[in-house]
Amino acid sequence: MKLLEERIKKDGRVYPGNILKVDSFLNHQIDVSLMDQIGDAFYEAYKDCGITKILTIEASGIAIACSTARRFGVPLLFAKKTRSLNIGNDVYTATVSSFTYKQDYQVVISKRYLSETDHVVIVDDFLATGNAMLGLADLCKMAGASVDGIGICIEKGFQNGGKQLRDMGYSVTSLAVIDSMTDDGKIVFRS
C-alpha cells in the first residue's frame, strides 16, 4: 500500500534496535482517514470469504479493526491483555510473549462472541515475531472459528513472524513490509 509506505517515510521515526515509531498517525495519535483506507485494503483482500468478525488485540489494533469491521459490515472483537475482574470465567485464553515489553501476558476473549460458525480476519498494527497473532489464532482455534486472513499494517520483514504464519498456512496481508532499517533512519520496503 503505497500510501502507508509514504506516510511511514514522512512521519515514522527510527530508533536504534529496529524500533519504528509511528505514533503520530497509527498507534497513539491516529489518523482515522488513513485507518479507513487500511480497512478498504483488508476488505479488498478478504471480501469474498464470508467474513463474520474482525478480531484484534488491545489497544493499538482497535482503531484499525473499527475501520475494517465497518467496511465488512460485521462486529469487531478485541482480545484483552489481562484477565479483567469483570470479564467472567467463560473465556478463552492464550499466552503471548511480548517482544516490545519483554514479558508474557494472557490474551482473553469471551466465549460468547466467537464460535465455529465464524469466519475471522485478524488485524493489527505491527507484525514482528508474530506471537500476538499466534495467540489470537489460538483463540480462534479454541472457538472452532476459521481464520480466513491476517491483515497487518506494518510487517517487520527482517523478523520471523510473517514467514512463520505463512508457513503455517495462514493468509497474511501486510500493507507495508520493511526489509531493513538503519539507525540513521533509512527504511527499505520490500517491493
> Is residue 109 part of the contact set for its own copies (CB under 8 A)?
yes
Among 3, 87, 168, 188, binds its own copies (CB under 8 A): 87
Pick the stretch among 17-25, 41-49, 145-153, 178-186 that binds its own copies (CB under 8 A). Answer: 17-25
Of 13, 5, 10, 125, which is closest to residue 66 (Cα–Cα)?
A: 125
Question: Is 84 a residue that touches its own copies (CB under 8 A)?
Answer: yes
- Per CB under 8 A, does 101 bind its own copies? yes
Q: How far is the C-alpha of 53 from the C-alpha of 127, rounded, in Å?
A: 20
**Is 70 among the residues that bind its own copies (CB under 8 A)?**
yes
Distance spanning both ends of the chain, measured CA to CA:
10
* Host H or E run for residue 135: helix 131-143
Alpha carbons within 13 angstroms on the beta-carbon side of residue 130 total 19
> What single letter denotes the amino acid at residue 7?
R
Where along the sequence are the contacts to its own copies (CB under 8 A)?
19, 21, 23-25, 28-33, 35-36, 58-59, 62-63, 66-67, 69-70, 75-78, 80, 84-88, 100-102, 109-110, 112-113
